[in-house]
Amino acid sequence: MLTNTFNRKKVRLYCMWSLAFSFFLPGCSDHEKERPPVTIHWKDNRAESIIIPMALFRGIPRDSIRQLVQVRLAKMNSPIIGELTILDGAVRFQPAIAFTRGLRYEVRLSDKLLSEFEIPKNDKNDAPIVIAIYPTAGVLPENLLKMYIAFSKPMQEGQALNNIFVLKDRNDTIPVFLDLDQELWNKERTMLTLWLDPGRIKRDLQPNLKMGTPLQKGSSYQLLLNNDWRDTNGDSLADDYKKEFLVGPRDSLSPDPGLWTIYETKSGSTQPLKIDLHESLDYMLLKNAIRIIDSKGSNVMGTFAPEERETILSFIPSAAWNKGEYTIEIESRLEDLAGNNLSRLFDQDLTTKNPRSHQDLYKRSFRIQ
C-alpha cells in the first residue's frame, strides 16, 4: 500500500514537471498554434533582419538567449552568421548577408525549433537580369584572357563559380576560370571580371604543358549562368543565361591604332564620332583607356560606347562639336581579347625583340569641319 501511494506521487510529480517543461519550451508541438509570428524587417527592398517575440523565450533567462538562439536555413545544421540584439519585448537578428528571397528559415533555441519563416519571392519583373557577356563576338581567340558579365542590379559576392558552368562541344563541363579568393567586381557590383588561367595560356609554363589552354581551337563552348545567382536583395536571376561561341586561332599581334579608321562628323552637331578598330578589343578598356583632346589641350566630355562586337567605338559628345583639330589619345594598356596591349604581347617570346617601342600614349588626329 505504501509502495502504491509512493508511485502515484511520483507519477503526479512527473506530470507536473512535464507540463512545466512544455510551458517553458514553446517548441513543443502542443503549443505550435500559439506561437507568436516572427516579423521580417525590410530596408531598401531587402529582408535586413527579423524580430523574434520575447514570448517565444518564456522561462529562458535573458542572459542565456544570446548563447542559445540560432537562425538557420530550414533543414540545415549550420547557423547563419549575424548579430543578435536583445530589445524590450523582442529579440532582433540581423544576418551578415541579407536573407534570400524564396527560402525558408528556422529560429532555434539550441536544438529546439521555436519558429519558422519564409522570405517571399519578389515579382519576376523586378528580378536581376544579365545585360551582356563580353566579349560579345561569336568567335573568340584560343588565348582569350578575360570575360565580363554585366548585370542589371548589384549582385552578391562569392557566388560566381557556383553558378557559372562551361560546356565544351555541348558535352563536358570543364574548368575555365580562375578561382580567386576575392571576386573582381566593379564598385557597384554590377560588372564581374572573370580571368582565364594565364598560366595555361602562356606557352611553355608548367600549367600550359600539363593541362593545355583553357579553350581549344576548333571547339564550341556554352557559357551557362544558373538563375540561382542572387542579387544583394536576395532575388535570383530572372532566367538562366547562355552564351555560345566558337574558338579560333591564337591572337599573337598587338592592336595598332595606326590602322584604325576614323569617320569624322560635322561641327554644330552631337553626332557620335565613329572609330573602326578592325578587331574586337577589351570592352572595359575601350571605355576607360581612350580620351578625346581638343586643340586647346582639354578633354572633350562625352561617353565611349563599344559596338559591333567591340570592333567599333562610338564617342558621343556631351556638347556639340566645334570646328578644329582633335586628338585621340590611347593609353598603351589598351588590350585585345588575348591581353596583347599596344606595347607588348601577353605571351611574348622573350628571345625575340619586340618590333614596337614602348610608349605611354599613342595618338591619332582628326579634324571637324
DSSP string, 242-290: EEEEEEE----S---GGG-EEE---TT--PPEEEE-SS-B-HHHHHHSE
Please report the pLDDT score of residue 355 as a whole number.
58
Q: What is the pLDDT of residues 147-206, one digit of tens each?
A: 999 999 999 999 999 999 999 999 889 999 999 989 999 999 999 999 999 999 999 899
User: Over its length of 369 residues, how does the chain's per-residue pLDDT go in tens digits?
Assistant: 434 443 444 434 333 333 333 333 344 444 445 567 899 998 877 888 999 999 888 888 888 888 899 999 998 888 999 999 999 889 999 999 888 888 899 999 888 899 999 988 777 678 899 999 999 999 999 999 999 999 999 999 999 999 999 999 998 899 999 999 899 999 999 999 999 999 999 998 998 999 999 999 999 999 999 998 989 888 889 899 999 999 999 999 999 999 999 998 999 999 999 999 999 999 999 999 999 999 999 999 999 999 999 999 999 999 999 999 999 999 999 999 999 999 999 997 655 555 566 788 999 999 999
Confidence at residue 23, expressed as pLDDT on a 0 to 100 scale: 35
Amino acid at 163: N
CATH topology of domain 125-248: Immunoglobulin-like (2.60.40)
Neighbours of 283 (CB within 10 A): 22
Q: What is the pLDDT of residue 22?
A: 36
pLDDT, residue 44, reads: 78
pLDDT of residue 131: 95
Q: What is the pLDDT of residue 350?
A: 57
Residue linked to cell 557577356? 133
Using the CB atoms, write b or e for 157-172: b if 16+ within 10 Å.
Answer: eeebeebbbbbbeeee
Q: Do domains 2-118 and 257-368 have the same CATH topology?
A: yes
Strand, helix or coil for residue 118: strand
Q: Are the C-beta atoms of 234 and 119 separated by less than 8 Å?
A: yes
Q: What is 2-118's CATH topology?
A: Immunoglobulin-like (2.60.40)
Domain spans of the chain? 2-118, 125-248, 257-368
**How far is the C-alpha of 65 from the C-alpha of 89, rounded, in Å?**
13
Identify the pLDDT of residue 60: 86
Query: What is the pLDDT, as a whole number, of residue 348?
Result: 79
Residue 357: all three cell numbers together: 617601342
Give all strands of the β-sheet with 130-134 in edge-to-edge order: 130-134, 146-151, 191-195, 184-185
pLDDT 10s digits, 289-333 = 999 999 999 999 999 999 999 999 999 999 999 999 999 999 999
Hey, what CATH class is 257-368 in?
A: mainly beta
Reduced to 3 states, what is the DSSP secondary structure of residue 204?
A: coil
Q: What per-residue confidence (pLDDT) applies to 220?
A: 97
Distance, CA of 359 to CA of 326 (rounded, Å): 20
